[in-house]
Structure 1
Amino acid sequence: MIVGIGVDLVDIPRFERTIARTPRLLERLFSEAERRLKPHSLAARYAAKEALIKALGGSDGVHWTEIEIASEASGRPLFSLCGSTAAVVAGRGITALHLSMSHDAGLATAYVVAEADPASEVPAQLGAPAIIPEGIA
């Protein structure tokens, strides 16, 4: 069952100017492995992290450097979570995160879908469907 959706769009040239102006942002936003990537890839990863936070319904307990975007052998992107961020995701009953990223024409975008087991209780702030008693709908 889908419990959250997030999307984000990043202007790559603006992102590059921000990083050039404030290089310490790289350490605050990205894992050591991610920092080696080219700016357009970093912009897509920034969008992915923002989209994840939106899919989660907020950033409480989520830390940027505990979210790493890795790739399967096929090249498909996936989240690698650790620390309190992993605990927050698990605590919200999320069993799967789906990620798509792209960049073109100076823009980077990411789309995230968060899923939970329909049998588990999902907090209302994550968009769990309302249960409507019979006869009211």
Structure 2
Amino acid sequence: MTITPDLYIEVKNFYARQMRVLDDLDIEQFTATFTEDGSVAHPHRGEKVEGREAMRAKMKSMLPMYEGLVTRHWFDHFLIEPAEDDGLRVTYYSLVTQTNTQDEVHFFSSSSVEDRMVREKGELRIRERVIHRDNPKYGRVI
């Protein structure tokens, strides 16, 4: 697969839409951006969630920690490459901020992320996401 300018724009638009539904806490729309058997791994927590249903349950259990905050995910430094399975390997940096009711902005996390994307019925979907928290004790990743 060749990374054309049109494909690059399509991938960037995918992430812009995905992060908006995540920041709006729209769990249904967010999990729909993954394949049915998709997964999200947080190696720093020793956690991997597999399948949309499990993702929805995990995310719903975490909703209380977002009450009274506006969370924003900031992605940059995208590297989009062809993957062996005719999909894409997309790596990028992620910064998550949270703003409270006093207009104070705090950094929540900084990470590097690796996604494996595939096309299903003409739409891009994530098959696998691995989030590497930036912390020297976990080593330098990506």
Is TM-score (shorter-chain normalized) higher than 0.5? no
The TM-score with structure 1 as length reference comes to 0.27
Rg larger for: 1
The TM-score with structure 2 as length reference comes to 0.26
